[in-house]
Structure 1
Amino acid sequence: MELSDDNMVSSYQNKKLDPESHSVEFSGEVNDSPIEQVRLTVPITDDPTLPCLTFRTWVLGITSCAILAFLNQFFGYRQNALYVSSVSAQIAVLPIGNFMAVYLPKRSIRIPATKWSFSLNPGPFNLKEHVLITIFANSGSSPVYAVGIITIVKAFYHWQIHPLAAMLLTQSTQMLGYGWAGIFRKFLVDSPYMWWPSNLVQVSLFRALHDVEVRPKGGLTRLQFFIVVLVSSFSYYIVPNYLFPSITALSFVCWIWKDSVTAQQLGSGLHGLGIGSFALDWSTVAGFLGSPLATPGFAIINILVGYIMIVYMVIPISYWTNLFEAKRVPIFSSHVFNADGGEYNVSLVLNETTFQFNRQGYDGYSRIYVSIFFAFAYGLSFATLAATISHVALFYGSTIWQQTKASFQDKFGDVHTRLMKKNYDPVPQWWFYAILVVVIGVALLTCEGFGRQLQLPYWGVLLAIVLALVFTLPIGVITATTNQQPGLNVITELIIGYMYPGRPLANVAFKTYGYISMTQAITFLSDFKLGHYMKIPPKSMFAVQLVGTVVASSVYFGTAWWLLSTVKDICNTSKLPEGSPWTCPGDDVFYNASIIWGVVGPLRMFGHLGVYPAMNYFFLIGFLAPLPVWFLSQKFPEQRWIRLINVPIILSGAGGMPPARAVNYICWLTVGIFFNFVVYRRYKGWWARHNYILSAGLDAGVAFMAILCYFTLQVRDINGMRWWGLDLDDHCPLAHCPTAPGIEVKGCPVFN
């Protein structure tokens, strides 16, 4: 249900480039890349004498990895789950690296009892060190999906999981992708036709940061601009984070019509459709959807169209016509409900001894109901997956087929591949196979051992592994050529939900091993391609990725375990103190998905025994939806704007909701349109120079102030002065009320 913002290719913003142009040349030998965007962005030179795995690389890389992992997990439990990307580290480590190059001693240090030695300062801080540090940071900025399992077990189900089993789960799910990456790297990395557009953002930023820059008259260098933004963002964030949390969502419609359920459903930015709501907080803008400053304009417009269609057309019509008995429950919520409009009592349908589905309890209780928004979120996720397949097949099918054939025929003749093969030894294939065998063994031990706490039997682990193996190549080809990555989360939930129902942890474990191992493989391959473009020795890349993954997984796990053990009532919104940000919105969705797919199962939700079997039609709707756009693009080829209509993005326009809310989307779309249309067109020079740096500075400032506030004040339960602005809420108490006649919910009027 999440919309990926991977379509952030800086070269698309250049007027010379067409985001739908792939200009592939299938000649045997070319002097440069056959892809135009790569030719215009990636340098074709290399200096193999530059040191790579230096003392600075290890220190700054591991530090960046650990800090980003800590920050992203720390923020993951908060109301606005801000994502701090590796771009922040990419910018911040440059002056630190240059400082170390100036002041560290240059003498060699010998490692005792070995012939090895190293220097703290091998010379000027160079581009290759910077790239490897950023690869470390990429590992730290990639969320560890398995932590969600640990969170729902401890904070939502109030069950126990062995800490070693939890640790092995996080490591094995993150590491399994190495095997698939090793198997398919020949086709997805070495091939020049697999060009990974998202990497061009970082390549462009590397070149900008390492170009010799002279401060413009009356202006600032990029680094000076970053520092100004960082300090400003840091200073301001104490207001929404601590002094006045209510400005993270301002919903004036609710304040005007205080007694109207309908008005508050329409106007609430947190619990409704968000008409007229906004925020004065960067974490609200970028919290769930990433930075809008780095998203191409055409993608923002597609998201805007999809958001308007779903939120302001489909949802209101469906709710007020009482589709699926929608009025029994709130219009927008990520929770599950019973037929009387109350929150679903999971303990009645889950055997506390076996932690499995209690059919007798279910038959005597109630079917599951979800908000109309949550129901359509699942339906649209079905449609998006199907639409991605047909959209890519129609618009990119012939190109992908040509590129894939060229890859399998070993036609790797571009300059980047030739330089890599000439100057560096490849990673031995057995390294990947060895990791794959070891990690599969760890995965089987994790699920079969520890009293089978995760409920997933060995055949479930092996089936998940087969699914990941089968889908890595085709999805890798799609991602490497179109920047769209279909997810396997819904399909994996559906498969295991039918095959092994009634076991919530088995469902989420299967989903994680099947979906995330494939996603991790795509991430590893993307990083390998970045190293390929920047001419990093493959063995150095392998070492950095391996260590970075282990460090990041450990820090994510440690941070989560620490917060789950120390923050009282974390994730329990009914018991948290006023103003507490620890509401865990993403994990709340993950928990409710485990009830839907794991405890009760898809048969009693989307099958003939459930309330929502009609949602299965969205598979067909999504598959057919790209056809009209493709037909129009063929009939009117001179109208190039037609090819910019991306049906999967439109269908998933509101795909981040929940856990994202309407106010997040409204602010994100407003800021994105302003910077990527108004500023980009009127002040293109400023945009090209400062846009990405502005984004990184805002993210970093918010992150540092949030950490400072927590460790100096909030950890001691000093949550600010008592007043109405302290509420982390938009003051729309009636927005969550059902409107069906006779439904009684505490704090809500009863309709006749």
Structure 2
Amino acid sequence: MRTMNSLTVYQRMVDVGDEDNDSPIEQVRLTVPPTDDPTLPALTFRILSTNPCTPPLGKLMAAYLPSKPVRVPFTNWFFSLNPGPFNIKEHVLITIFASSGAGGVYAVFIVDIVKAFYHRQLSPVAAFFLSQSSQMLGYGWAGLFRKYLVDSPYMWWPANLVQVSLFRALHEKEKRPKGGHTRLQFFFMVFVASFAYYIVPGYLFHSISALSFVCWIWKDSVTAQQIGGGMKGLGVGSFGLDWLTVAGFLGTPLATPLFAIINILVGFIVSVYVVIPIAYWSNAYDAKKFPIFSSDTFDHTGQPYNISRILNEKAFDINLAAYDSYSKLYLSVIFAFTYGLSFATLTATITHVALFNGKTIWTLWKQTASAAKDDYADVHTRFRQTAATPLQPGLNVITELVIGYIYPGKPLANVAFKTYGYISLSQALYFASDFKLGHYMKIPPRSMFVVQDDVFYNASIIWGVIGPLRMFTKYGVYKEMNWFFLLGFLAPIPGWFLSRKYPNIKWLRLIHMPIIIGATSNMPPTRAVNYWAWGAVEIFFNFYVYRKFKAWWARHTYVLSAALDAGVAFLGVLLFFTLQYKNNIFGPEWWGLANDDHCPLASCPTAPGVKIEGCPAF
């Protein structure tokens, strides 16, 4: 049995040619070591048994379990209960085990909305197969595209670098630099600070998550609050002093490449501060009858849309006579343009990939076999791969559009088709992300394979009950949104032409129209204050700190991100189970305890004659 300290071996492994075998991406080179210790076991008895618990139990098992091989009954196979010290690869697999089962199954939303909103029941057997089949499709897609999304060194996953930094800080022995700290010490210092601070926005002062000073100054002005509201308005001057405001919706900004954040902020500013104000204050699509920012659906009077008035309860589809006598479906201006920009993003993605990456993709497709032998994959391609049997494209809109035309007025068919068409892709990218983490940490793919309601309801109304025929054609309100398909298709061409004409201007190739157009695809539920807080933190660290203090950035930035996330998560769980779950202790009663930015008029309509409780009449 192996008795040598696995960490010592890990640190001593330096292969000839490792420098040539390193990643072409600078952020990856600064974070992921090019070496591997193939003697470290990965898929062990410990990771299977400690998965429901914690890595410390793995260390306890490594200290006390016997190392004698155990035979599997009726076979010639043996395994060890204790193959040596608990190591970094086992820790990674335990984490992936936990994260793979931590998220909810998207198909469960179908069961939820059928019961909660449509007051029907799905057969348990049908619900089971619906959820399992959609999950399995995700695994299949991840396996099919692993060679392109995981093995390729150019397909890097920035968010995974945060986890890589954390695992290295926890497992690699490091000498404390003079006047400084080890990465593990730095992690615990930030963790304690984040844990202690989160009691302020998480329990004592909820409103600090979204502060809108414009609303404090103009307390009685609807227009001012629409402009300044960070939660329900355009967010001019809004900010938040809460890590969840920064990273809760858009992910950690510390792991987002600078070119991506610039494209996102440009798209956000153009959409929210140019397109939306022009559309709203010109009263496009009767926009003034509704809130400027809302994910709800409305009728022609500005009231919430009463779906029960147009739904056949027995057939579970639309009653056209009732629909014609009631009202067409209306959306807030920002929700309507979110769909239009989603249309444009889809076609822009196709054009952008064809122009900028088409030749490369075609070459890789033809040379799949030789690509597997590329030098960059040298450390990883030694593994047995028998198991291979930062914005992602939002195919939810196109799947809803297609099935909405095929089966108009059938909400259950719509959400089921969306689950298979979109969520299988989303799940595939999630699983591929786990595969990439294992790739960075030198874990065999076979082991990786072993371990791996409101907006949804409104979407089912828009695309399922009403259908795109009565939303985005001459029979609906938003027929002009179809022009966004053409706009998106043409948008990448000028940038591509200029990058070809002026190849020495490198930033021209960083203009990414799908990102710019799709920047606000998460609005709602993401709010303007989230974008501003996220962008400010990103630019400070990945522009200023990265350029002025690159050594500090390489050593601490991703560890900082992991520690901030961990501190918030731990205290959030602690507060819930100790004070809120059964005790209903929610902090002192004062205005700062409200989960609000104190801009109540931001969600008011401004059209004459529309009456909403709490809003002034125009």
TM over 0.5: yes
The residue identity in structure 2 corresponding to 1:748 is C
Q: Match of 1:613? A: 479
Question: CA 1:535–1:218 in 2, change beyond 3 Å: closer, same or farther?
Answer: closer
Task: Give the structure 1 partner of residue 606 of structure 2.
Answer: 739
Q: Take 2:338 and 2:35, find their aligned partners in 1: how far apart are those partners?
A: 47
Per the alignment, residue 497 of structure 1 pairs with 404
Q: CA deviation at 1:195?
A: 4.2
Q: Could you tell me which residue of structure 1 aligns to residue 5 of structure 2?
A: none
2:491 touches 2:513 (CA, 8 Å); kept in 1?
yes
Query: What one-letter code is carried by the residue in structure 1 that aligns with 2:386?
Result: V
Cα 1:525–1:253, aligned 2, differ >3 Å: closer, same or farther? closer
Structure 2 CA distance for partners of 1:351 and 1:714, relative to 1, 3 Å: farther
The one of 376, 390, 407 equivalent to 2:337 is: 376
Structure 2 partner of 1:71: none
Change (3 A) 1:254 1:185: closer
Cα RMSD over matched residues? 2.9
d(CA) in 1 for partners of 2:189 and 2:225?
Answer: 39
Tell me the amino acid that sits aligned with residue 536 of structure 2: T
- Aligned residue number for residue 446 of structure 2: 539
Contact 1:293 1:695 in 2 (8 A): yes
CA contact (8 A) 2:111 2:121 kept: no
Secondary structure, in 3 states, of the residue corresponding to 2:603? Answer: coil
Are the structure 2 counterparts of residues 156 and 700 from structure 1 closer, same or farther at C-alpha, using a change threshold of 3 Å? farther
Does the residue aligned with 1:615 lie in a helix, a strand or coil?
helix
CA contact (8 A) 1:383 1:651 kept: yes
Counterpart position of 2:592? 725
- Residue 445 of structure 1 corresponds to none
User: Which of 225, 232, 237 lines up with 1:276 in the alignment?
Assistant: 237
Mapped pair 1:212 → 2:78 = no
Which residue matches 2:8?
none
Are the structure 2 counterparts of residues 265 and 632 from structure 1 closer, same or farther at C-alpha, using a change threshold of 3 Å?
Answer: same
Deviation at 1:171, TM superposition (A): 2.5
Distance 1:425 1:413, change over 3 A: closer
Query: Which shifted more, 617-626 or 651-660?
Result: 651-660
Distance apart, 1:428 and its partner CA: 6.4
The answer to whether 1:486 aligns with 2:476 is no
- Residue 21 of structure 1 aligns with which residue? none
Q: Distance in 2 between matches of 1:291 and 1:734?
A: 31
Letter in 2 for 1:513: Y
Query: Shift of residue 749 of structure 1?
Result: 1.7
**CA distance in structure 2 between the aligned counterparts of 1:682 and 1:602, rounded to whole angstroms:** 51
Partner residue in 2 for 1:105: 65
Unaligned runs of 5+ in 1: 1-29, 65-92, 433-482, 546-586
Distance in 1 between residues matched to 2:225 and 2:480, nearest whole Å: 29
In structure 1, the residue corresponding to 2:555 is in which secondary structure? Answer: helix
Distance 1:501 1:63, change over 3 A: farther
- Which one of 575, 579, 582 corresponds to residue 713 of structure 1? 579
Structure 1 position 372, deviation (Å) = 0.6
After superposition, the Cα gap between the structure-2 partners of 1:606 and 1:625, relative to the gap in structure 1 and judged at 3 Å, is same
Question: What letter is aligned with 2:426?
Answer: T
Question: Cα gap change, 1:347/1:183 in structure 2, threshold over 3 Å: closer, same or farther?
Answer: same
Which residue identity lines up with residue 593 of structure 2 in the other structure? L
| Alignment correspondent of 1:460 | none
- The change in CA–CA distance for 1:531 and 1:240 in structure 2 (over 3 A counts) is closer
Deviation at 1:357, TM superposition (A): 1.4
How far the C-alpha of 1:47 sits from its partner, in A, is 4.2
Deviation at 1:645, TM superposition (A): 1.3
Paired residue type of 2:463: W
Aligned counterpart, 1:666: 532
Map of 2:373 onto structure 1: 413
Deviation of the 1:709 alpha carbon: 1.7
The SS at the match of 1:678 is helix
Unaligned runs of 5+ residues in structure 2 are: 1-17
SS in structure 2 of the partner of residue 364 of structure 1? helix
Aligned partners of 1:633 and 1:642 also within 8 Å:
yes
CA distance in 1, matches of 2:265, 2:93: 36
Residue type of the alignment partner of 1:538 = P
Q: SS at the partner of 1:218?
A: coil
2:10 corresponds to which residue?
Answer: none
Q: How many residue pairs get matched?
A: 596
Matched residue SS, 1:298: helix
1:145 aligns with 2:94: no
Instruction: Supply the distance in 2 between the matched residues of 1:319 and 1:177 (Cα, whole angstroms).
Output: 39
Amino acid at match of 2:42: C
Instruction: Report what 2:561 is aligned to.
Output: 695
How far apart, in 1, do the equivalents of 2:329 and 2:251 lie?
32
* TM-score, with length taken from structure 2: 0.88
Assess if the C-alpha contact under 8 Å between 2:158 and 2:255 holds in 1: no
Tell me, what secondary structure is at the counterpart of 1:648? helix
Q: Which fold has the larger relative contact order, with Cα–Cα distance below 8 Å and residues 6 or more apart in sequence?
A: 1
* Distance 1:244-1:35 versus aligned 2 partners, 3 A rule: closer
TM-aligned CA deviation for residue 599 of structure 1: 1.0
Q: CA deviation at 1:146?
A: 2.1
Which residue matches 2:25? 37
- Structure 1 pair 148/118, CA: closer, same or farther in 2 (3 Å)? same
- Matched residue, 2:13: none
The aligned amino acid for 1:328 is: K
Mapping of 1:167-186 within 5 angstroms?
Answer: 167-185=128-146
Q: Using the alignment, how far apart are the partners of 1:309 and 1:142 within structure 2?
A: 33
Q: Deviation at 1:606?
A: 0.9
Secondary structure in structure 2 of the residue aligned to 1:713: helix
Per-residue deviation, 1:211: 4.1
User: Where does 1:502-651 land on structure 2 (aligned, <5 Å)?
Assistant: 502-532=409-439, 534-545=441-452, 587-651=453-517
Cα pair 1:105 1:121 within 8 Å, conserved: yes
Distance 1:154 1:32, change over 3 A: farther
Per-residue deviation at 1:352? 2.6
Residues 524 and 731 of structure 1: is their aligned pair in 2 closer, same or farther, counting only changes over 3 Å? closer
* Secondary structure in structure 2 of the residue aligned to 1:176: helix
* 1:102 shift after superposition: 6.0
Structure 1 residue 507 displacement after superposition: 0.8
Instruction: Verify the 8 A CA contact 1:226 1:693 in the aligned structure 2.
Output: yes
Aligned residue for 2:462, secondary structure, equals helix
Task: Judge conservation of contact 1:104–1:120 (CA < 8 Å) in 2.
Answer: no
Measure how far apart 1:60 and its partner are.
Answer: 4.3
Equivalent AA in structure 2 for residue 491 of structure 1: I
Q: Distance in 2 between matches of 1:747 and 1:538?
A: 58
Match of 1:549 in 2: none
The SS at the match of 2:293 is: coil
Tell me which residue corresponds to 1:315.
276
Partners of 1:193 and 1:403 within 8 A in 2: no
Aligned partner (choices 85, 88, 91) of residue 124 of structure 1: 85
